[in-house]
Structure 1
Amino acid sequence: MLRFPRTAAAFAVLLSVAACSGADKAAGPDAASLPDVQFPELSLQTLQSVTKELSSDAYEGRAPGTAGEEKTLAYLIKQFEEAGLKPGNNGKWTQDVPLVEITAKNATPLSFTGGKAPVTLNYGDDYVAFSYRVQPKTAIKDSDVVFVGYGINAPEKGWNDYAGLDVKGKTVIILVNDPDWQTPEAKGEFNGRAMTYYGRWTYKYEEAARQGAAAALIVHDTEPAAYGWNVVESSNTGTQYLAETKNGGADQTAANGWIQLGKAKELLASAGQDFDKLRAAAGKKGFKAVALTGVKAAFGFDNQIAKKMSHNVIGVLPGAKRPDEYVLYTAHWDHLGRCTPVNGDDICNGAVDNATGVAGLVTLAQAYKKAPAPDRSVVFLAVTAEESGLLGSQYYADNPVFPLAETVGGVNMDALNPNGPAKDIVVVGRGKSDLDSYLEKIAKAAKVAIVDEPTPEKGFYYRSDHFSFAKHGVPFFNFGAGEDLVDGGKEAGKKAAEDYEKNRYHAPGDEYAAIKNWDGMLADLKLFYAAGRMLASTDAWPNWVKGDEFRAARDKSRPAK
């Protein structure tokens, strides 16, 4: 569960589709003009030892602002230094990232009264809620309830679920994903099966806040949400992190949360409505929100608040010819810390997500140091608070140490492949930028196929740190191993992916001991090395394709180049 910036400025650039069809191929440079592909020998020992260390219980799940962060920073600095990198922030290894830590305590049941029968939801089992307001208590009392369908206001599409509504002080019930999420293809008003930002829960909270709602509650349904209730519960019942703002979140809803599908149906029935009929109606343009006449919502919780200073870790390998031009490798070092216990274990160790990615940074840094220095400088950036909404990468992108106008592009590594080598690589957002040409040359050299996202409905384009840089116009590679495994094929790959999501993703089971195959990770890293090395060895400046939502930002930052 990932959070995103909730500012109006960020909103203006986020309204876009998550993935493009592979048929919409980007018109990048000719492959013959690109540098040759290099696949180095990488240290399995480094990859394993760094992953094992960072995911051990001693780091307590690497939550920002904790003793686990202190240990993580000290360890990463040592690893970067030993790998031959130089401090990346004007002689310092770290960049300060100011955060606010909010932990909900003493949550009451969520009650809906005034219908045919009262409906009660227990915290954790039936609902979760949290606040983006920096205040000691959250209390929703005697709040009118309105079903607002998908909670979308998209003027360019002529779609407004809030049309004619005044929801100030009210509780809105919202459906997850886009209205056309059940469309098999990536076509339609909201790009069909491929989720747009309108479908992300972060957007729905943002829009509810803009409308003045007191509380926004999203109905959880596993298929359109793309994860089970266990992920919702584990990610939202512990400490939450926000970017520090001047108004303390006063412009946000008092409470945001999720409710179980069964309880939503019970609530609508109590109000004399049929949930399934309303959901079908909400998928059509012109839907009118439905007030649940007479129904009132009430719930609350205390907020334990602390302001914390977290940190990004930055190392750099200076370029040999153009050291003032930069290529980034990014991975988030944080995870959830202590979370909902499973069999008495309350530490979310985050071995795959994302100790492997950070271990990949160290492994790649070693490989770069052993090879001749590339023309451009290579930056290794381990960011904080990705799990809390890409906060560390967003802070860097808003306050870059190395100018983004001189940042060529980058490679983001979020959870390496623990399932073994694959015959294919999946590209998220294929067709969006000139980077497609680089990737085609890499794939040909590695003898792997390129495939489009198998699950564009999950909105992965908005769920990792590359997104923070894309908003500022910097093209980033976003690809990884596919499901067609060398050993077992697509069936084995799909089964392994489903098993991880169900049993280990954002749960205590994501531990080092659960990783049984490292060959796929090394295969991933060789491709990531090649991608970054190619960017660092050319004088080209890849751009987004014309018409892409990020093209304007890139053109503005490099207008004469």
Structure 2
Amino acid sequence: MRRLILSSLLLSGAAVAQDRPVISVDTLKTVTQTLGSDAFEGRAPTTAGEDKAVAFIIDRFQKAGLKPGNNGGWTQDVPMVEITATDVRPFTVAGKGAPIILDYRRDMVVGTYRVTPRIDLANSEMVFVGYGITAPEKGWDDYAGVDVRGKTVVILVNDPDWQTMGRDGPFEGRAMTWYGRWPYKFENAAKHGAAAALIVHQTEPAAYPWAVVQSSWTGPQLELDEPGDHADQSQVIGWLQQPVAERILTAAGRDLATLTKAAQTKGFKAVPLGLTLSGGFNNMIRRQASKNVIGVLPGTSAPDGYVLYSAHWDHLGRCDAVDGDDICNGALDNASGVAGLVALAEAQGKAGPAKRSIAFLAVTAEESGLLGSGYYAQHPVFPLARTVGGVNMDGLNVTGRSKDFVLVGKGKSEIEDLVVPFVKAQGRYIGEEANPERGGYYRSDHFSFAKLGVPMLDGGSGEDKVVGGKVAGKAASDDYVAHRYHKPADEYDPRWDWTGALEDLTVYYQLGRTLADRPGLWPNWYPTAEFRGIRDKSRKNAQ
């Protein structure tokens, strides 16, 4: 019944939203090229690159006709602490046979959430905890019957059933769940008192090669600056190269493949390895604030209701050099998303105010763990209970038109129902995620809002290209992940084809306009979605 009501509301209010907006290709090109240029030094938060990026975005928001979104100001301060591991001495695995020396960066990467000048880990017992999951609703607990307080846990990446094609399985089969994401695994290890937590890197289930881990987990690391200095977290968090993990388990008289198979079965019991881990490093600590940029197109008759568009402006800044280039420009990821944000602001501004307000949020520190969006969600300028829903953009389609439009994390919210008519009007179809094992739904800023109940669309062009079909689409996606994702090669290319991005942005515009011009429309999560309860509670309290 709820879906029928939504469809009725959509059709009766579709006239405005079905009008095709004029999305400026010049804006997409100019904003992406500017933010992705070397002059912005990769847009790392709290650097000179941030200052330039924030000033540029404010200028473009102003020119688009937006108003300052934070009580007369354009920005929201996000208190952050920067922790840089220095003087990392090789970590040593001991206990059986000759010690195994783990070289920083080559064999492992390590860091910490704790705001402390020194980390020392001495003779910490090692325990293999499978996928490191505690899911009472599924009757699954990899920590059952083992005490890991003060110990080092070795964890597998992704979910136990990630190799299962389709969505059948205790953890949704091929589709990664929140339990498969590395932030969850470190969080759960800390809850169980682990002194150190190391994830075994495997390229396919992680969805990116070791080079991405190496570039993302070395150098300055940002966290929200919160009371307590994160003392409740593990002393050491990090990743192990798969061959190194295999050597460690062999030294323990175990086999990684055999343990992995066992860990994929409900009732798995953690395995003490009879080994210890020692190592340490110093931390350079710097406290400062980064900034979210907020603009708004105030509504007319229902201005206290909000539709939200978001994109992260940050990238990695200076990174591991490739052929002498040490700037990770982040042109696609995510200068292009900010370009889409500006282009939508221009289009919505030209259409004039809607009944509800439309907010545009360019957030910081997505690459550091969704910190900017997380801070906004915890300290919203516009109440989340009055935020209807919206769209997050993290990388636009620059490889030409696609026949399909993919709903990432499909099957979660009624926002999906609203999008379908706009997609079909373009002669496209709703496709399936090509790589659901990558857990895309939990890897970008919409997740910060979803966790607190706000339905946000994460969707866009799939891999079924108009020219070349699925073979061409997969080749383009694989090439980007292998050669440009989180690398200096993610640079603006004047040869990019923006036609697919224009179609996606048209869908985003139409969805946003429909939500903004229908004050009675409140899409919710499906009853089975993990975020339904918090949305129902927040909406009840708002009424």
Both structures adopt the same fold (TM-score exceeding 0.5) = yes
1:43 aligned onto 2:21: no
Of the three residues 281, 299, 303, the one matched with 2:283 is: 303
| Cα contact 1:103–1:303 (8 A) shared by 2 | yes
What percent identity do the matched residue pairs reach? 58
- Cα distance in 2 between the residues matched to 1:282 and 1:384: 37
Of the three residues 46, 61, 86, the one matched with 1:65 is: 46
Of the three residues 215, 221, 224, the one matched with 1:240 is: 221
- Cα distance in 1 between the residues matched to 2:382 and 2:407: 27
| Cα contact 1:27–1:545 (8 A) shared by 2 | no
Of the three residues 293, 307, 313, the one matched with 2:293 is: 313
Instruction: Please give the secondary structure, in 1, of the residue aligned with 2:380.
Output: coil
Residue by residue over 1:444-503, the C-alpha shift from the partner in whole angstroms, topping out at 9 and shown as x without a partner, is 211111112221111111111111111221111111101011111110000000000111
Q: TM-score, normalised by structure 2?
A: 0.96
Residue by residue over 1:35-62, the C-alpha shift from the partner in whole angstroms, topping out at 9 and shown as x without a partner, is 2323212211111111111111111111
Of the three residues 3, 7, 11, the one matched with 1:32 is: 11
1:198 aligned onto 2:179: yes
1:323 aligned onto 2:306: no
Of the three residues 427, 444, 468, the one matched with 2:407 is: 427
Of the three residues 234, 244, 248, the one matched with 1:253 is: 234
| Cα contact 2:408–2:458 (8 A) shared by 1 | yes
Indicate the residue corresponding to 2:315 in structure 1: 335
Indicate the residue corresponding to 1:480 in structure 2: 460
Instruction: Please give the secondary structure, in 2, of the residue aligned with 1:497.
Output: helix
Residue by residue over 1:186-228, the C-alpha shift from the partner in whole angstroms, topping out at 9 and shown as x without a partner, is 1111111111111111111111111111110000111111111
- Higher mean C-alpha deviation, range 545-554 or range 49-58: 545-554
Cα offset, 1:429, TM superposition: 2.4
- Cα distance in 2 between the residues matched to 1:408 and 1:494: 34
Residue by residue over 1:84-114, the C-alpha shift from the partner in whole angstroms, topping out at 9 and shown as x without a partner, is 1110111100011101111111212222122
- The one-letter code of the counterpart of 1:229 is W
- Cα distance in 2 between the residues matched to 1:372 and 1:250: 49
Instruction: Please give the secondary structure, in 1, of the residue aligned with 2:14.
Output: coil
1:416 aligned onto 2:387: no
Q: TM-score, normalised by structure 1?
A: 0.93
- The one-letter code of the counterpart of 1:32 is L
Matches within 5 A, 1:385-396: 385-396=365-376
Of the three residues 142, 146, 163, the one matched with 1:182 is: 163
Of the three residues 339, 347, 372, the one matched with 1:367 is: 347
Instruction: Please give the secondary structure, in 2, of the residue aligned with 1:367.
Output: helix
- Cα distance in 2 between the residues matched to 1:234 and 1:432: 33
- The one-letter code of the counterpart of 2:130 is G
| Cα contact 1:34–1:438 (8 A) shared by 2 | no
Gaps of 5+ in 1: 1-24
Instruction: Please give the secondary structure, in 1, of the residue aligned with 2:304.
Output: strand
Cα offset, 1:516, TM superposition: 2.3
| Cα contact 1:152–1:162 (8 A) shared by 2 | yes
Cα offset, 1:82, TM superposition: 1.1
Cα offset, 1:520, TM superposition: 2.0
Cα offset, 1:297, TM superposition: 0.9
Indicate the residue corresponding to 2:65 in structure 1: 84
- Cα distance in 1 between the residues matched to 2:326 and 2:5: 49
Indicate the residue corresponding to 1:440 in structure 2: 420
| Cα contact 2:35–2:53 (8 A) shared by 1 | yes
- Cα distance in 2 between the residues matched to 1:228 and 1:28: 42
- Cα distance in 2 between the residues matched to 1:446 and 1:354: 25
1:504 aligned onto 2:484: yes
| Cα contact 2:92–2:277 (8 A) shared by 1 | yes
Indicate the residue corresponding to 2:141 in structure 1: 160
| Cα contact 2:407–2:416 (8 A) shared by 1 | no
Cα offset, 1:523, TM superposition: 2.1
Q: How many residues align?
A: 536
Of the three residues 154, 163, 172, the one matched with 1:173 is: 154
Cα 1:103–1:349 shift into 2, 3 Å: same
Instruction: Please give the secondary structure, in 1, of the residue aligned with 2:7.
Output: coil
- The one-letter code of the counterpart of 2:515 is L
Cα offset, 1:28, TM superposition: 4.0
Cα offset, 1:26, TM superposition: 9.6
Cα offset, 1:147, TM superposition: 1.0
| Cα contact 1:116–1:271 (8 A) shared by 2 | no
Gaps of 5+ in 2: none
Indicate the residue corresponding to 1:106 in structure 2: 87
| Cα contact 1:174–1:217 (8 A) shared by 2 | yes
Indicate the residue corresponding to 2:112 in structure 1: 131
- Cα distance in 1 between the residues matched to 2:12 and 2:525: 18
- Cα distance in 2 between the residues matched to 1:226 and 1:362: 30
Instruction: Please give the secondary structure, in 1, of the residue aligned with 2:161.
Output: coil
- The one-letter code of the counterpart of 1:517 is D
- Cα distance in 1 between the residues matched to 2:139 and 2:349: 54
Instruction: Please give the secondary structure, in 2, of the residue aligned with 1:29.
Output: helix
Of the three residues 518, 538, 541, the one matched with 1:557 is: 538
Of the three residues 187, 198, 223, the one matched with 1:217 is: 198
